Amino acid sequence: MCSFGKRVVHRLHQRHEQLEAKAKQCQTLVQVEVRKVGADDEGKIVQLKAEMEQLVN
């Protein structure tokens, strides 16, 4: 393969690795946000259960 082709392949490989790293970072951020929303929902559920118990009693 000519030197230009080698440089192109090398740059494409580097770009691919950068995009993979960024995708992993985004996936991690999404997982963190999903956990936050889940925790907020759990808190709301507990609060609603408590309110319902107060209304029943």
Beta strands in the chain (DSSP E): none
The answer to whether the pTM exceeds 0.85 is: no
17 pLDDT tier (thresholds 50, 70, 90) = very high
Has residue 5 got a pLDDT over 90? yes
- 9's CB contacts (< 8 A; 6+ apart) are 1
Q: State how far the Cα of 57 lies from the Cα of 39, in Å rounded to an integer.
A: 27
- 19's CB contacts (< 8 A; 6+ apart) are none
Chain centroid to CA 30: how far? 2
- 1's CB contacts (< 8 A; 6+ apart) are 9
What pLDDT, on a 0 to 100 scale, did the predictor assign at position 19? 94
